[in-house]
Amino acid sequence: MIGGLFIYNHKGEVLISRVYRDDIGRNAVDAFRVNVIHARQQVRSPVTNIARTSFFHVKRSNIWLAAVTKQNVNAAMVFEFLYKMCDVMAAYFGKISEENIKNNFVLIYELLDEILDFGYPQNSETGALKTFITQQGIKSQHHTKEEQSQITSQVTGQIGWRREGIKYRRNELFLDVLESVNLLMSPQGQVLSAHVSGRVVMKSYLSGMPECKFGMNDKIVIDKQGKGGTTDDSGKSGKQSIAIDDCTFHQCVRLSKFDSERSISFIPPDGEYELMRYRTTKDIILPFRVIPLVREVGRTKLEVKVVIKSNFKPSLLAQKIEVRIPTPLNTSGVQVICMKGKAKYKASENAIVWKIKRMAGMKESQISAEIELLPTNDKKKWARPPISMNFEVPFAPSGLKVRYLKVFEPKLNYSDHDVIKWVRYIGRSGIYETRC
Amino acid sequence: MPYFGSEEMVKELKRALSNPHVQSDRLRYKNYITKVIRYMTQGLDVSSLFMDMVKASATVDIVQKKLVYLYMCTYASDKPDLALLAINTLRKDCADPNPMVRGLALRNMCNFRMPGMTEYIEQPIVAALRDKASYVRRVAVLGCAKMHSLQPNTEIDGRIVNELYALLRDPDPVVVVNCLRALEEILKDEGGVVINKPIAHHLLNRMKELDSWAQSEVLNFLLRYHPRSDDELFDILSLLDSFLQSSHAHVVVSTLRLFLHLASAHRAVQADALLRTSAPLLATCSAVSRELRFAGLCHVQQVMRSQPGLFATHYKRFFCGYSEPSYIKFRKMEILVELVNDENVSLVLEELRSYCTDVSPELAQAAIAAIGRIARTYSEKCLDILTGLLALKQDHITSAVIQTFRDLVWFCPQSTAAVCQTVEAGVDRPQDSEGKQALLWLLGAHGDQMGSAPYVMEGYIDGLKTELSSTVKMELLTATVKMFLCRPAETQDMLGRLLHYCIEEESDVCVRDRALLYYRLLQRGAEETRRVVTGPKSDPSMSVLTGRQEEPISEWASTFNTLGPLAGRDSCPQTDAISAADQPSYSAGEELLPGSEDVTLSGPGDTEEEISLSLGAPLSHESFEKMWLDLEILHRQALGVSRPRTAPDTLQASLQLEKIQTLAFTPADTVPWKAYIYTRSTGTLILAELLQGATDESLVLSVKQQPVNQHAIRRFVSVLKSVLQTLNLE
């Protein structure tokens, strides 16, 4: 149960404050600002206890969102609720920034009114909320009978995530497999830890109440089918299937069916939503390898050479590649030479940032830098933070492939073939670090 | 801006709002209302505009209505008489054909926090409970709770309670959950909403329709339900099974808690549930959002209290990322320490070592302390690393290493020689007071093993005038006195100087008193001083030998999935490092008194059930012996059980679990076999001897006690007997 919600900017000015329960006084807003936002030391914990009141906060860019309660609540739930709130706001006005919040503050108050009542979550699905709150505000006189009954059926309907009577001229669906690959590699090139956390995001524009079935190259399913088929078949698919460590689904997926048959079937919500989340740790295709070489020449000079190798099909192109090579605090000057892309020393970030727009697979590129150091009395050794990397590749590093997505709508006259389907794979870097 | 010229601002707004030109232009009017809300958000007092805002509520524009209602809810308690003016409009809206308007009006009417509101809202609420739109019913149900909180001390209206119980069967899932929430608040004084069998089963069947927040809450409510039979229990568990794999971390954790609670009698089911939730828990630990990651880590820590091995293979998942915030790093290190085993120890240590040079000194110190914890089992490897760290010559690292050494020597006496050698070989003087204290303690307690110890100490005594911290001074006093007892010739002169300075020139009263205390003690002779000052040099509970206990799940299940695990320990993992500086206070005179914090609150007339045993401060061998000789045997009894065949460590561990401390026992094959044990209870100290004449003969127990309390003895005998019997069964 949440007693109140506050939104602050980075300076600690209150942008939104909504109190739901009496036990939260008006001074709670200030208590959080003084004790957390204006506190000198870094944040000790996302949960702060001030005078028997718990403040849960999350930060989005430089906006602080805080939920306040006096009850002994379930922390994971409050955090997930705050993320959900961010998602809802993002669905209404895009990025959560000070400017956007100021411009939409009436709308936010409206949302907060609907999402929570007396501190209890009521309705947090963007799709359903949009029937209550439209950007311009509904005028009660012009409210037609039809719309009213729609609201009623929507809020009483068995399926909370989809309303009846949706119609599209073109039945279309978009499927995005979004993965972020995380890596921690030792200077010797040994993988210390690697995992992929992926999401299957779907945008569906389908009429009626369609039943969908989603299939991917999940090892357990393929092995099961392989047993029934020829031996040749199973041998081939064994390589292509992937082992999923764990996966979770949107509430629309019938979990009982997944448990028994491992098939993913569901009635999709309308518009954009996240169908599933999964994680794999085995046989990950690491799109890039970073080979660092750091040499200390005397006390005032460092020589850094970094080679990156792309490790995927030559026909594919990686984009937005950025390599961040940290430099010591006492750097006085840097000379960089790189074969490809642009590299710059950014003194404010204590790093050399090397950007490459595009890079094909099975290529390699190199950067070398000479770093001049100021002599210091400080005996403190430079901690050598890891080299981190950002990129985007057009395939799924986990090896996940969508095998099919079938749509059945028995009541309306369109079949699986009439639906236009789009599938896209995007692999992004999560925390992709190589120690040096 | 909110604080300067605010009065002007409010006046201007007031003028604008009452301007008929503005009022006729809808857009401009709304803009001014928005402005009012904006100032309200910034903390400006705009309550004087109440009258104008009430007027603005009579509009067809829903957004404007909402804004005005928000304003009125905030200030209604300040202006109750004016707020009453708005009620008519609101009540009219409650009968609007549009369900949204009805719901909105009712919700806001219930939000007015002012006395005397009940009479206006009761009738609309009761009517709305039967509204055909579920949206309005949702609002009405929570309205009942709000109405109750307005007048918390009035009698509960049975009619409304019954109506709410009936609405638990409502087709709309949110109405159902709201009913539970409302009933819980209304019936708070009577123990909350009653979950009987039909309600529990009804809720279980509806679980799938609920949204994740509601699922989490319903799972919490279900904790109250006790299934009648095992069959019913397993039916419930299989219904809940799929929620263990939910995509929402909080639902998974809530389900797990319910599983652990319901299956508290079935160990295998609990273990299975823990095993299956380990994957989603681990996934939460690497979630994208740090806060969720933090919550996940805290819950993993809880699970590990009972099943330390569950995550052992996944130890790499708890390596820290460079950019993670420190609160996550601290937790991860705590977990890593627990996960160490023979296979992964070198990798984990390697990882921890890289954290020791972290930019944040706090984190570096925590990493060093973590290595120290591992050193209790893998001394050699860790000591190498720690010694290596000293070579970095960083103040904060050196200080942390020395503190770690102190704790290590205390818990793990076999590493004393190696530590002494390292310290002797020359370490930098730590600069902060904690580090100084640790070094002084080491010098004082183990000065006999370090040749140069008195000279290091002399350096500190010479620099006493510039020392600021009084705790360091006190530690220096204690250490020097201890040193004097083992190496009098080298220390006598400097001890004299130290005492002279502390008594004559020191301004801090505590230090002066401590010095005077030692001075008078020394006057009574060296032997007397030795008896008082020297305590045990290592942890007498021998916790290292017995290892960490696997706690029963019930220990933590009740706080699982609340704020408890997150707040639990402070983010600094050093809390269990004992303050060795206070060691001398366990002197013989004080040991006779039971540890005051362990005394359970109960008078002499209490019944036997309420008496519990406790460990309290450890007894030294000498004082036990002295007391044993001084006291009479109060109670002697043949226990009727023979000595358990288990290893002596197990016996010691299981007695300790029941808060009975083992002082000493003879080797397993000697005849007669003896063991000396002691415990504390409600202000009394119980000493006991277990004696076995010949093999397989029954054990004979002799008990001595000070002061006498027969109840406690009876309790002690029954606990002891049950422990021995259980061990014999195994």
The reply to whether A4-124 and A288-393 are identical in fold is: no
Percent of chain B with pLDDT over 70: 91
* Residues on chain A touching B563 (C-beta within 8 angstroms): 47, 54, 72-73, 75
pLDDT given at position B607: 37
Kindly state the percentage of chain B with pLDDT values over 90.
15
How far does Cα B190 stand from its chain's mean position? 29
The rounded distance, in Å, linking the Cα atoms of A241 and A228 is 16
Q: pLDDT at position B657, please?
A: 76
CA quadruple A2, A5, B253, B558: dihedral sign? negative
User: What is the rounded distance in angstroms from the CA atom of residue B673 to the CA atom of residue B671?
Assistant: 5
- Selecting from A1, A105, A151 the residue whose C-beta is nearest the C-beta of B99 gives A151
Give the nearest partner residue to A74 out of B37, B97, B562, using CB atoms: B562
What average pLDDT does chain B have?
A: 82
> Is residue B324's pLDDT more than 70?
yes
CB-based contact, A232 to chain B, within 8 Å: no
Greater model confidence, A397 or B672: A397
Are residues A198 and A216 in contact, defined by beta-carbon separation less than 8 angstroms? Answer: no
Burial A323-335 (b: 16+ CB within 10 A, else e): bbbbbbeebeebe
Range in A17-26, A386-395, B172-181 with the lowest mean pLDDT: A17-26
Select the residue of A17, A42, A118 nearest B145 (Cβ to Cβ): A118
Asked whether residue A95 is marked as a ligand-binding residue, the answer is no
Contact A72/B at CB under 8 A: yes
Whether the predicted pLDDT of B597 surpasses 60: no
B242:A379 CB<8 A: no
> What string of DSSP letters covers A145-189?
HHHHHHHHHHHHSS-TT--S----SS-EEEEEEEEEEEEEE-TTS
Cβ of residue A42 closer than 8 Å to a chain B Cβ: yes
Interface test mutation site (partner B, options A60, A140, A282, max chain B beta carbons within 10 A): A140
What CATH number was assigned to the domain covering residues A288-393?
2.60.40.1170
Q: Which residues of A touch B66 (CB under 8 A)?
A: 109-110, 113
**Residue B423: half-sphere exposure toward Cβ, Cα within 13 Å:** 38
Residue of B39, B61, B63 for testing the chain A interface, max A β-carbons within 10 Å: B63
Q: Please tell me which residue of chain B has the smallest CA distance to A77.
A: B250
Q: How confident is the model at residue B591 (pLDDT cuts 50, 70, 90)?
A: very low
Is the minimum CB–CB distance between A14 and chain B shorter than 8 Å?
yes
Side chain identity at residue B269, one-letter code: V
Distance in Å, alpha carbon of B242 to nearest chain A alpha carbon: 7
Q: Does residue B659 contact residue B679 with C-beta atoms inside 8 Å?
A: yes
B-contacting residues of A 267-326, CB under 8 Å? 276-277, 279
* Chain-chain contact of B107 with A113 (C-beta, under 8 angstroms): yes
The partner residue sitting opposite A193, judged by closest CB among B64, B138, B316, is B316
Residue A398: pLDDT above 80? yes
Mean pLDDT, residues B572-598: 34
Confidence of residue B141 (pLDDT cuts 50, 70, 90): very high
Are A148 and B294 within 8 A, CB to CB? no
Which pLDDT band holds residue B700 (cuts at 50, 70, 90)?
confident
Residue, of B534 and B495, whose pLDDT is higher: B495
Can you tell me the distance from the alpha carbon of B440 to that of B430, in angstroms, rounded to the nearest whole number? Answer: 10
Least Cα distance to B135 among B108, B95, B106 occurs for: B106
State how many domains chain B has: 2
Q: Which of A75-79, B59-63, B503-507 has the lowest mean pLDDT?
A: B59-63
Distance CA A411, CA A88 (A): 32
* Gap between the Cα atoms of B5 and B13, Å rounded: 13
pLDDT band at B1 (very low <50, low <70, confident <90, very high): very low
Asked if A155 lies within 8 A of B250 by C-beta distance, the reply is: no
Q: Which residues pair with A195 in a beta bridge?
A: A182
Domain boundaries, chain A: 4-124, 172-225+240-283+397-434, 288-393
Element (H, E) at B406: helix B395-411
Distances (CA, A) of B724 to B614, B639, B640, B699, B701: 18, 9, 10, 10, 12
Note whether B699 and B641 are within 8 A (CB).
Answer: yes
pLDDT tens for A305-315 read: 999 999 999 99
pLDDT tens for A39-50 read: 877 777 889 888
Cβ-nearest to B99 among A17, A79, A148:
A148
Residue B658 sits in a domain whose CATH number is 3.30.310.10
Residue B580 has pLDDT above 80, yes or no: no
Q: pLDDT per residue over A186-227, tens digit each? A: 888 888 889 999 999 999 888 888 889 998 888 887 777 765
Please identify, in words, the CATH class of the domain defined by A4-124. alpha beta
Task: Choose among A54, A379, A431: nearest Cβ to B563.
Answer: A54
Structure tokens that stand for B574 in this block: 């050093």
Question: Which of A74, A158, A197 faces B250 most closely, judged by CB atoms?
Answer: A74
End-of-domain residue from the set B478, B509, B534: B534
Question: To 10 degrees, the CA torsion angle through A223, A229, A234, A235?
Answer: 160
What the block records as the tokens of B78 is 């300040």
Q: For testing the chain B interface, which of A27, A43, A45, A257 should be mutated: the one with the most B CBs within 10 Å? A: A45
* Chain A partners within 8 Å of B175 (Cβ): none
pLDDT tens string B350-396: 999 988 888 888 889 999 999 998 988 888 889 889 988 888 888 88
pLDDT at B583: 36
**pLDDT on residue B403:** 92
pLDDT of residue A135: 53
| Whether A114 contacts chain B with CB within 8 A | no
Task: Please give the structure tokens belonging to residue B349.
Answer: 């240590």
pLDDT of residue B611: 63
Q: Is A137 on the interface with B (CB under 8 A)?
A: yes
**Interface contact flag, A193 B319, Cβ < 8 Å:** yes
pLDDT of residue B140: 92
Q: What is the pLDDT of residues A232-278, one digit of tens each?
A: 444 444 457 888 888 888 878 887 778 777 888 888 888 888 888 88
Q: DSSP assignment of B607-631, as one string?
A: -GGG--EE--SPPPHHHHHHHHHHS
- The reply to whether omega before B672 is within 30° of 0 (cis) is yes
Task: Please determine, for residue B148, whether its predicted confidence score (pLDDT) is greater than 80.
Answer: yes
- Confidence category of residue A8, pLDDT binned at 50, 70, 90: very high
Contact B132, B172 (CB under 8 A): no
Summarize the confidence of residues A108-137 as an average pLDDT: 78
Residues A39/A42/A48/A51 CA torsion (nearest 10 deg): -30
A182 in contact with chain B, both atoms CB, cutoff 8 A: yes
With an 8 Å Cβ cutoff, are A381 and B392 in contact? yes
Mean pLDDT, chain A, as a whole number? 83
A2, A122, A159: best mutation site toward chain B, by most B Cβ within 10 Å? Answer: A122
Pick the most confident of A122-136, B20-34, B359-373, B527-541. B359-373
Which chain B residue has its CA at the smallest distance from A250's CA? B247
From first CA to last CA, the distance across chain A in angstroms is: 47
CA closest to B351 among chain A residues? A192
- CB-CB under 8 Å, B149 with A121: no
Q: Which residues in chain B touch residue A29, judged by CB atoms under 8 angstroms apart?
A: 43
Distance (Å, whole) CA B130 – CA B136 = 9
Fold of A172-225+240-283+397-434: Immunoglobulin-like (2.60.40)
Which residue in B101, B220, B240, B563 has the most chain A C-beta atoms within 10 A of its own C-beta, making it the best mutation to test that interface? Answer: B563
Q: Could you tell me if A86 lies within 8 Å of chain B, comparing CB atoms?
A: no
Contact B98 A143 (CB under 8 A): yes
Give the pLDDT confidence score for residue B548 in this predicted structure.
Answer: 61
- Kindly provide the residue ranges of all beta strands, DSSP E only, lying in A53-125, ordered along the sequence: 53-60, 63-69, 116-117, 120-121
**Residues in A 350-379 with any Cβ partner in B closer than 8 A:** 379
- Within B463-594, residue ranges assigned H as helices are 470-486, 488-504, 509-523, 526-533, 543-546, 554-557, 564-567, 588-591
Residue B279 in domain:
no
Question: Which range of residues forms the domain containing residue B435?
Answer: 429-534
C-alpha distance from B135 to closest chain A C-alpha (Å): 7
Q: What is the pLDDT of residue B645?
A: 73
Contacts of B301 in chain A (CB under 8 A): none
Choose the closest CB to B319 out of A110, A140, A192. Answer: A192
Sort residue B19 into left (φ over 0), alpha (ψ -120 to 50) or beta: beta
The verdict on B633 and B530 lying in the same domain is no
pLDDT band at A183 (very low <50, low <70, confident <90, very high): very high
CA distance B587 to B126: 71
Question: Is there a contact between B248 and A16 if contact means CB atoms under 8 Å apart?
Answer: no
Q: Which ipTM value was assigned to this complex?
A: 0.71
* pLDDT band of A145, cuts 50, 70, 90: very low
Q: Is residue A346 part of an annotated ligand binding site?
A: yes
Which of B534, B553, B587 lies at the terminal end of a domain, its last residue?
Answer: B534
Give B598-648 pLDDT, tens digit per residue: 333 333 333 334 567 777 667 777 778 878 888 888 788 887 777 777 777
d(CA B222, CA B554): 17
> Is B723 inside any structural domain?
yes
Q: In terms of CA atoms, which chain A residue is nearest residue B291? A: A46
Contact: A80, B566; criterion CB under 8 Å: no
Question: At which of B497, B514, B534 does a domain end?
Answer: B534
Q: What percent of chain A has pLDDT over 90?
A: 29
DSSP structure class, residue B209: G
Residue A411 annotated as part of some ligand binding site: no
Let me know if residue B662 belongs to a domain: yes
* A320 labeled binding residue: no
Share of chain A above pLDDT 70, in %: 89
Which of the four pLDDT bands, split at 50, 70 and 90, describes residue B551?
A: confident
Per-residue confidence (pLDDT) for residue B594, from 0 to 100: 35
Determine if residue A11 is labeled as part of a ligand binding site. Answer: no
Predicted local confidence at residue B5, as pLDDT: 52
Q: What is the mean pLDDT of residues B590-603?
A: 34
CB burial class (10 A; 0-12, 13-18, 19+) of residue B342? Answer: exposed
Task: Tell me what pLDDT residue B366 has.
Answer: 92
